[in-house]
Amino acid sequence: MAIQQSPLTGPGFGRVLFSILSVSALISTSICDAPYPREQKPLLSFDSYSLNEQGHVKLGEAFSLQDIFHHGTYQYPNLHKHISIPKSEESSWVENSELPGLNGPLIARSRPMKIERLKDRRPSIIEPMISAAQEDGKFWSNSDPAAWTVDHLIGPDVTDKETILTLARMSANSYQPKPGQGDWTDVGSGFNESADFGWENDGIRGYVYANEDGSIVTISFKGGTPQLGWMGGPTSSNDRDNVNLLFSCCCGQGSFLAQKVCSCATFGFFSGRVCNSSCVGQCLKAEERYYPAAQHIYSNVSAFYPNAEIWVTGHSLGGTLSSLLGLTYGLPAVTIETPPEALPAGRLGLPAPPGSGTMQTRNNTGAYHFGITSDPIYMGRCKGLAASCALAGYAFDSVCHTGMKCVYDVVKDFGWWSSISTHGIVTVIQDVIMKYESVPVCEPAPECQDCSSWKEFHGSLTSSKTSKPTTTCHSPR
């Protein structure tokens, strides 16, 4: 991969410990109940498109922001709002004050992609199966192979630099304040209008971009505010709690500095460290957490755009949520510097075809994780007592990604060193994606193992030797 030399610089340095694009709440029964066929076929099959000599679908699609969905989490878990972006404001969302000169159209190419996924992906069908898989670690390995299919569809071209740059710009733009003014409308019901003050600082958002004919929709997720440490933003405590549920071996338990966010672990002289994976999975599915909110937003976007193929993207934790949604519903997912997320994918009980093994050994997931070797969060190295993540109360223990890793080796090519200051999205865009002449080759990494010093078991909260069900998922502060 040809490169141009770049210094270790960037306006995003030092400002973000863990930038988050994310979302919360259980699947609603209002707009989300749009009818689905039992066996859902790809809406855009690459059989209907001709390819050019490089194997690209002959599409250079221009995307523009159409909608924003906001879902509350801790303070307002029933809140779900939506705003449509007027055509007069679409161009203003292409501009980003932190990315001067990058104000051209958002262009993405498509490419044939294979994804192995359930034939029936309706939320009402998948949700009970995920709950069963949380209790029974062998649920998916014992599932009926006939329930699965390998679909050939149109996904983002992960070999094309402009496409990756566009998805990264979408992720970066979701950190920008909303230009102009507009009226937020309620989606569904249940929100108390008397509590309308301050809701914008609670929860996460999905930014919906569509191509010109509306046949392809991309959701970019944003949740927490940029922060330094756990005291830097209005949602930083919530962000940290979700991080420690997702990426810790057991909710921060067993770590001296990390904020503990559940009571799912037991410790014994002979048994050692033991984590109840079912307990962690159920805590991740609590209504105030980010993954259920991501499900809720996806379900409403798919109802708003019933005839569109949906892609998901995001930076950091927003990328994690994008990947988890992709694994849940069989969607193409391109993430930017997401932490290793195979561990939470397994604990959530997300769909996996029989014989696929662990989440990191699955093939044809449609997940592509772009990142840089100097980012300890992406590389799974931001841990230990001296790590900046640990000093801020974060527990990043996981090391395994699902799907494919697409790694820019900036340590070798540019002489950078490992630093959390390189985790910011602006740094990745300006000093990495734009500096390289091409994108890295994406490869699987199935050989890694998470939390080898821990033992895991699956069991219900009531049969567990952990805390009572009513207190297990609360932060023991």
Contact, 226 vs 19, CB < 8 A? yes
Phi, psi of 219 (to 5 degrees): -105, 125
Angstrom distances, CA of residue 392 to CA of 201, 247, 389: 21, 15, 5
Cα separation, 170 vs 15, whole angstroms? 19
Helix intervals (H) in 88-160: 123-135
Cα separation, 367 vs 357, whole angstroms? 17
Angstrom distances, CA of residue 279 to CA of 24, 85, 349, 381, 459: 19, 40, 12, 26, 7
Write down how long the chain is.
477
Q: Provide the 10 A C-beta neighbour count for residue 447.
A: 8
Where does residue 76 rank: exposed (0-12), middle (13-18), buried (19+ CB within 10 A)?
A: buried
Residue 232 — left, alpha, or beta (φ > 0 → left; ψ -120 to 50 → alpha)? alpha
Cα separation, 386 vs 445, whole angstroms? 27
Looking at the chain, the number of H-run helices and the number of E-run strands are 11, 15
- Active-site annotation holder among 6, 28, 255, 316: 316
Those residues with Cβ within 8 angstroms of residue 132's Cβ, 6 or more apart along the chain or in another chain:
139, 349
Strand-pair category, 185-186 with 265-268? unpaired
Phi, psi of 126 (to 5 degrees): -70, -40
Whether 24 sits among the annotated catalytic residues: the reply is no
Beta-strand ranges (E) seen in 228-294 are 265-268, 272-276
Residues tagged active-site: 316
